[in-house]
Amino acid sequence: MPVPKVQIQTTEARIGINVQKGQQTIRQQKAELSIQQPKADMTIRQRPGKLTIDQTKAWHNLDLKNVLVRTEELVGEARQIWLEGIARVSREGDELMRIEDGGNPIAAHAKQNARFEFTMQPGGRPAYDLVDFNYVPGEAEISVEPQKPIIKAQPREPEIAYQPGNVDIYMRQYANIQIDWEV
């Protein structure tokens, strides 16, 4: 006798999914920004320098001297002449003391003292190194006071747009079981 067989046939259930993606847009506008930098307060005080020019040596070289210098020179020359005169008078006195040795010392002295010698030496040309220059620079006082920058910033809110997505789940295929007998 034939034995009947059971035949089972199954169909799986299947799910279907439809997805619509969500969309999001974000726009960020730049912030309004204002920056100002005031100039620093700066003061400069320059004291004038001091220039001295001493051309005394050049004028002396040209024999153009002031009264005090000329007097000092004449005093020096007069002292020298006075000392020479003392020596001459002393020598003439010694000659007169020995008048007994012969000769005519009085006439010789008169002849010698009758002439007058005068010499003048004019100055030379001034040279470049006869003028003294001296310069003392004046000091500079510099004062700087920096100023802080003025910064103004106005932020902008971001613009956000969002469109939500959608997920649709459905049954694409239902599960099924078929049982059958086969002889």
Q: Is residue 152 domain-resident? A: no
Asked whether residue 56 is assigned to any structural domain, the reply reads: no
Contact yes or no for 140/46 (Cβ under 8 A): yes
Is position 127 within any domain?
A: no
- Residue numbers of the domain that contains 10: 1-34+165-183
pLDDT tens-digit readout, 124-140:
565 667 888 899 999 99
Q: Does the residue 179 lie in any domain?
A: yes
**pTM > 0.75: yes or no:** no
Q: Is residue 31 a contact partner of residue 155, using CB atoms and an 8 Å limit?
A: yes
- Please answer whether residues 164 and 23 qualify as being in contact, where contact means their C-beta atoms are separated by less than 8 angstroms: no
The tally of domains found in the chain comes to 2
In a domain, 58, yes or no: no
Which pLDDT tens digit goes with each residue over 95-104? Answer: 888 888 777 8
pLDDT at 1 over 80: no
The pLDDT score that the predictor gives to residue 104 is: 83
User: Residue 154 domain-assigned?
Assistant: no
